[in-house]
Amino acid sequence: MKIEILGTGCPKCKKLSELTAEAIKELGVSAEITKVTDLNKFIDYGVILTPALVINGEVKVAGKVPSKKEITKWIEEKKNK
């Protein structure tokens, strides 16, 4: 599974990264987490507001920090496909 955190390193971006790492650990999922700071990548994904969470190429959320429960649900959905 490929997970990307799109952001500039702001506190919300860091929080999203922490919650995502916790969710992956709790689920025992093998995933590659990449922090993306390239504005051109944001545009490629259609993301205007950060932070954003991308799982296997699909933007799951942008402009806010979701709950760990939401992140866990999205990871489980992708894991089962």
* Residues carrying an active site annotation: 10, 13
In the chain, the amino acid numbered 20 is: T
The span from the CA of 14 to the CA of 12, in Å, is: 5
Compute φ and ψ for 3, nearest 5 degrees.
-120, 130
Indicate the Cα dihedral angle 70, 71, 77, 81, nearest 10°: 170
